[in-house]
């Protein structure tokens, strides 16, 4: 009787194998940064092989950095303060994206200051308020626009009205590099921005935006991260 059961079991297994009914093992592939960017930004309209991350780093940040634009907050028309440098970034990105991708819109110089830019992104449904910076790592990617508050000020429950007031946003920059550990946790990022003393420091990429066990996690020195947006805004 035992042998009969064994033979029956073997017969059933062979039958199922012939019918291909065994479920295949499903392996979920993790997106590489390049794949994730293309999948989420939908920029096939620019070109089949267009790489947004490489473009932002190589053709935007590094090319503006090479111009050695010294920080200048005294003459806004020169576009050499933090928001001015960001508008230079926007001009390059818009020139690449807008002719081929009509679904995206970019801020104009009417939103000249970092506060006005925060309001613009918020009004176009492309802004996330950050009250707990320690948990913001999964939101920060290449192409993230980062807004920082006043030096030394803590923002536990920021609102867009607070951030666009005199007590609100003081600095802005664009993430062009990210560093993550084996588990995907953000450790640090490279920020392209205009910063430093007037006439001394040129716009460049800085790497002092690490995770910390405080409200200054991922901040800009003693400026807390208070909000983020995506460089691409859908109409």
Record the tokens describing residue 136, joined without a space: 């913001």
Record the tokens describing residue 143, joined without a space: 């192409």
Q: What is the number of structural domains in the chain? A: 1
User: Is residue 82 in some structural domain?
Assistant: yes
Write down the H helix ranges in the chain.
Answer: 2-19, 33-41, 52-54, 62-65, 82-97, 114-123, 160-163
Yes or no: say if 192 and 161 are a contact pair by the CB < 8 Å rule: no
Record the tokens describing residue 227, joined without a space: 């909000």
Strands (E), the chain: 104-105, 128-129, 144-151, 171-180, 186-193, 204-206, 223-230, 233-234
User: Is residue 113 in some structural domain?
Assistant: yes
User: Is residue 55 in some structural domain?
Assistant: yes
What is the block-wise mean pLDDT of the chain (235 residues), using blocks of 10 residues?
Answer: 48 41 30 34 84 97 98 96 98 96 97 98 98 96 98 97 98 98 97 96 98 96 98 97
User: Is residue 15 in some structural domain?
Assistant: no
Residue-number span of the structural domain to which 170 is assigned: 34-234
- Round to whole Å and give the CA distance between 115 and 117: 5
Yes or no: say if 113 and 85 are a contact pair by the CB < 8 Å rule: no
Predicted pLDDT at 43: 87
User: Is residue 45 in some structural domain?
Assistant: yes
pTM, to two decimals: 0.82
3-state helix vs strand vs coil in the chain, percent to 5? 35, 20, 45
User: Is residue 222 in some structural domain?
Assistant: yes
Is the four-CA dihedral 145, 101, 235, 88 of positive or negative sign? positive
User: Is residue 128 in some structural domain?
Assistant: yes
User: Is residue 221 in some structural domain?
Assistant: yes
């Amino acid at each position: 009787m035992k042998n009969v059961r064994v033979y029956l079991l073997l017969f059933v297994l062979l039958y199922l194998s012939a019918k291909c009914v065994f479920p295949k093992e499903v392996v979920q592939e993790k997106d590489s940064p390049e794949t994730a960017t293309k999948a989420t930004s939908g920029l096939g309209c620019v070109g089949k092989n267009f790489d947004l991350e490489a473009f932002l780093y190589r053709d935007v940040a590094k090319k503006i950095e090479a111009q050695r634009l010294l920080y200048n907050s005294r003459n806004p028309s020169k576009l050499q303060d933090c928001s001015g440098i960001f508008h230079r970034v926007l001009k390059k990105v818009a020139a690449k994206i807008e002719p081929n991708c009509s679904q995206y819109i970019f801020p104009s110089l009417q939103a000249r200051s970092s506060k006005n830019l925060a309001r613009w992104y918020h009004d176009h449904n492309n802004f996330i308020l950050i009250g707990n910076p320690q948990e913001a790592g999964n939101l920060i990617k290449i192409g993230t626009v980062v807004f920082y508050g006043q030096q030394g000020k803590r923002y536990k429950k920021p609102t867009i009205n607070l951030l666009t007031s005199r007590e609100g946003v003081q600095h802005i920059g664009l993430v062009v590099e990210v560093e993550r550990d084996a588990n995907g946790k953000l450790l640090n990022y490279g920020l392209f921005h205009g910063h430093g003393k007037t006439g001394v420091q040129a716009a460049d990429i800085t790497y002092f935006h690490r995770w910390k066990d405080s409200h200054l996690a991922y901040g800009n020195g003693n400026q807390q991260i208070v909000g983020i947006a995506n460089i691409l805004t859908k109409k």
